[in-house]
Amino acid sequence: MQVDTLITNIGQLLPMDHNGPVKGIAMNELTVWENAAVGIKKDQVVWIGSTDETDQVTANHVIDAGGKLVSPGLVEPHTHLVFGGSREREMALKQKGVPYLEILQKGGGILSTVKATQKATHEELVDKALFHLDRMAMHGITTVEAKSGYGLDRETERKQLEVVKEVKGKHPLDIVSTFLGAHAIPPEFKQDPEAFLDQMADMFDEIKEEKLAEFVDIFTETGVFTVEQSRRYLQKAKDRGFRVKMHADEIDPLGGTELAVEMGAISGDHLAVSSDEGINRLANSDTIGVILPGTSFYLGKDTYARARKMIDAGAAVSISTDFNPGSCVTENLQLIMSIAALKLNMSPEEIWHAVTVNAAHAIGRGDEAGSIAIGRKADIVIWDAPNYMYIPYHYGVNHVNTVIKNGNVLYQ
């Protein structure tokens, strides 16, 4: 067989080849192929075999993986990619013990990023998003979800979504867009959050027609949107043909996890304080739990999502950075893999499912991203690591050796 690129001498290959999200205890069963090789033609994987069989393959370009670990490109299913400014000054407030939601109530937090995003030009936001995408790519991410939500008015929400659209054409990573107009209550609507939600819902049709977003998301939280308001808003989104997501049970346990399941959300995200009942329902549903342990860490909390309970009960779990300027300021999903090991008690096998196949399903890309399989996209990472357990173990640094996106070497 003739291929463009052949990766040989792979110490451990993680194919992650599944037909759907991997649930419950199956997340702990990882298929590992030793001494493997992968052939790529154009943007697709066309051959997988043993390094000993590579005489069957003629390649224009050979990459010797030198016995290293090779995995699918990481899938990042929850980020707030497009925003203006930064919030390093809030760190001092956090150190004084001012809670995240209190900073928001006083017009800081999300609302201060909203001001900066409203001020920023389209071009500035494009450049900034490209910068962060480069960082993600360098850290082994090849598909990323991006939310709006720092506009909170028609014009700026559109600006964010249009930035994502432009960036899609400019950056090799695959980007999946989510409309998070319901991210906070802007000050002018403080007395009437329902009117604000109506205004955001009025954008659904144009967003759908112009294909500006695939998913609709909401922040269901004390002082933001109630479960009742969220239910109504998400139902409207579903009626307009969107699949929905939720920022649920991040800080206060309001029953957001239960609502995510009730709404048939593709994912319920955060779930740091989900109730027992919420976890049970999640486990018996098709909703994927996207856990963001970097936010618990970064907000200085002792409470982490009960990933063990979720997985043991049978849920499909993914993990993500939640990259944003307030509650988790990192593009490094490898760091989150370490936090998942240390604070969520997830096994390395579970963690690899969480950042590949399950993450891809959490953003509707299960049939193209998150696996290395014949006929699928060639999104592949070679790691400076001898085995898959090494990545969560050696923490806080970048282990990427080579990133291949759509069959092309992006970093080496």
Footprint on this chain of ligand NIG (rule: CB under 6 A): 80, 109-110, 113, 219, 247, 250, 295, 322, 324-327
Indicate the residue type of 256. G
Q: Closest separation between CB of residue 326 and Fe ion, Å?
A: 9
Could you identify the residue written with the tokens 């937090």? 109
Tell me the window of 231-239, 316-324, 367-375, 384-392 that interacts with Fe ion (CB under 5 A): 316-324
**Residue 110 near which of Fe ion, ligand NIG, none (CB within 5-8 Å, type-dependent):** ligand NIG
**Residue 289 near which of Fe ion, ligand NIG, none (CB within 5-8 Å, type-dependent):** none
Please answer whether residues 309 and 24 qualify as being in contact, where contact means their C-beta atoms are separated by less than 8 angstroms: no
Q: Closest separation between CB of residue 180 and ligand NIG, Å?
A: 8
**Of 113 and 267, which has the nearer Cβ to ligand NIG?**
113
* Residue 290 phi, psi dihedral angles, 5° rounding: -100, 110
Which of 76, 214, 217, 322 is in the footprint of Fe ion by CB under 5 A?
A: 322
Q: Helix and strand tally (H, E) in the chain?
A: 16, 16
Residue 276: strand, helix, or coil: helix
**Residue 330 near which of ligand NIG, Fe ion, none (CB within 5-8 Å, type-dependent):** none
DSSP 8-state assignment for residue 321: -
**Residue 249 near which of ligand NIG, Fe ion, none (CB within 5-8 Å, type-dependent):** none
Q: What span, in angstroms and rounded, lies between the C-alpha atoms of 230 and 201?
A: 11
Quote the strand ranges of 257-384, DSSP E. 267-270, 288-291, 317-319, 380-383
**Of 285 and 295, which has the nearer Cβ to ligand NIG?**
295
**Of 109 and 256, which has the nearer Cβ to ligand NIG?**
109
**Residue 51 near which of ligand NIG, Fe ion, none (CB within 5-8 Å, type-dependent):** none
**Of 113 and 318, which has the nearer Cβ to ligand NIG?**
113
Q: In what order do the strands lie in the sheet with 215-218?
A: 74-76, 141-147, 174-182, 215-218, 243-248, 267-270, 288-291, 317-319
**Of 214 and 322, which has the nearer Cβ to ligand NIG?**
322
* Residue (of 203, 202, 265, 205) closest to 230 by Cα position: 265
Residue number, nearest CB to Fe ion: 322
* Strands 44-50 and 288-291, sheet pairing: unpaired
As given in the structure block, the two tokens for residue 51 are 């390094």
Burial track 71-102 (b if 16+ CB lie within 10 A, e otherwise): bbbbbbbbbbbbbbbebeebeebbeeeeebbe
Q: What span, in angstroms and rounded, lies between the C-alpha atoms of 180 and 184?
A: 9
Tell me the window of 112-120, 135-143, 254-262, 319-327 that interacts with Fe ion (CB under 5 A): 319-327
**Of 109 and 151, which has the nearer Cβ to ligand NIG?**
109
**Of 112 and 280, which has the nearer Cβ to ligand NIG?**
112
**Of 214 and 322, which has the nearer Cβ to Fe ion?**
322
Please answer whether residues 270 and 317 qualify as being in contact, where contact means their C-beta atoms are separated by less than 8 angstroms: no
**Of 234 and 404, which has the nearer Cβ to Fe ion?**
234
Q: Closest separation between CB of residue 133 and ligand NIG, Å?
A: 18
Q: Closest separation between CB of residue 75 and ligand NIG, Å?
A: 17
* Residue (of 14, 19, 13, 27) closest to 349 by Cα position: 27
Q: Closest separation between CB of residue 168 and ligand NIG, Å?
A: 22
Residue number, nearest CB to ligand NIG: 326
Q: Closest separation between CB of residue 311 and Fe ion, Å?
A: 21
Indicate the residue type of 286. D
221 lies in the binding site for Fe ion (CB under 5 A) = no
Q: Closest separation between CB of residue 176 and ligand NIG, Å?
A: 16
How far separated are the first and last CA of the chain, in Å rounded?
26
Q: Closest separation between CB of residue 77 and ligand NIG, Å?
A: 12
Q: Closest separation between CB of residue 245 and Fe ion, Å?
A: 10
Where on the chain is the footprint of Fe ion (CB under 5 A)?
Answer: 322
